[in-house]
Structure 1
Amino acid sequence: MDVTVSGIGVEAVEYFQESGTVRTQFDQKKTPASIAIIATLADIMDTDPVELDPLHSTVDSDELEALVRVRNGTNGDTHVTFTHEGHAITVHSYGAITITPEHELTAENYERGAGR
């Protein structure tokens, strides 16, 4: 099923209300990871993608694309995690992006005893 986030076509979007996490599945042959990240983040933040800080201010977009490029028939997963616009973002080589607000991660760590 194709879905649109901030005008960009992706394969699927899942929202996890308890944690504030959003998971987007995208077709790496059609959409670069950096575009899928910004589109999903803009959708989460309910803003225009051009209003966000440029992704290259946080991570090298070319290196990101090279790292998560479509893996033709290989096993395993390569992923990268970074923060941008107050959100923890993980991009997987199989075409998935997970975005979680940083404050949710802090609250979750505190509840597990890390903040005590």
Structure 2
Amino acid sequence: MTPSHKEIGALGAVEAVGSMNSVEFDIDANIFRAEYDSSRDQPSLAIVAVVAAAANSDPNELSPLHSAIDTGALDDLLSGTATDDQKNVCFSFSYEGFAVTTFSEGTIEVKPMENT
């Protein structure tokens, strides 16, 4: 871990995703980042865990993820069993005041949205 990165301790949300060890905060980029194994854990659960860690919140206090995105389609697209055509997928959406970008290889990046 470099000086510009800070590891956020294993919060309850992160512990719920067995393959996710922690959420890291890149101070310079203002991005929370975590990796997980999509063949073991649901991508939708991992996203909620990262957003909850970034918001320093209990995941049960967040609005349901399905209010922001179709979680069934998300899990199908990003699962470890996705077809070769679905590999190397990246997409972004907003949820709970954060811009969420998720990558098919199991990386999630969460950045606070600017208040305008």
TM-score range, shorter chain: 0.7 to 0.9
Q: Structure 2: give runs of 5+ residues left out of the alignment.
A: 1-8
Identity %: 30
1:39/1:103 CA distance change after superposition, 3 Å: same
Q: Structure 1: give runs of 5+ residues left out of the alignment.
A: 107-116
Once residues 11 and 103 of structure 1 are traced to their aligned partners in structure 2, the CA distance between those partners, rounded to angstroms, is 28
Please say if 1:59 is aligned against 2:49: no
What TM-score do the two structures reach when normalised by structure 1?
0.76
* Stretches (4+) displaced over 4 A: 71-76
Q: How many residues align?
A: 103
Larger radius of gyration: 1
Pick which of 45-54 and 7-16 moved more.
7-16
What TM-score do the two structures reach when normalised by structure 2?
0.76
SS state at 2:108 partner? strand
**What RMSD in Å do the two structures reach over aligned CA positions?**
2.5
Letter in 2 for 1:21: I
Once residues 100 and 24 of structure 1 are traced to their aligned partners in structure 2, the CA distance between those partners, rounded to angstroms, is 12
Cα drift, residue 42 of structure 1 = 0.7
